[in-house]
Amino acid sequence: MTDNKKNIGNPDRYLISFKEKYEVNYAVTQLQKQVPGTTRPEAKEALFEAAKQIDPSRGREKIMAAARKDLRS
């Protein structure tokens, strides 16, 4: 199912659509800001690994937290 950009609000705000390049790029940029010294490929790999471990429907914050933890270890 594609992301309907007309349906905005809370349900969509808390998810990352991995099919949308701009959403992945935004999440990678946020990871780089939150974990200084992280390269773009490292952040992207951590993001995708976290999404494999945590169901994407559980939300952006859980995936981002797992990716940050992975980058800091």
Domain boundaries, the chain: 19-72
Q: What is the pLDDT of residues 10-19, one digit of tens each?
A: 667 788 989 9
What is the structure's pLDDT at 9? 64
DSSP code, position 7: -
Dist CA 73 CA 60 (whole Å): 20
33-37, 55-59, 68-72 — which is least confidently predicted? 55-59
Which pair of tokens denotes residue 25?
A: 């790029």
The CB density around residue 48, as the number of other CB atoms within 10 Å, is 14
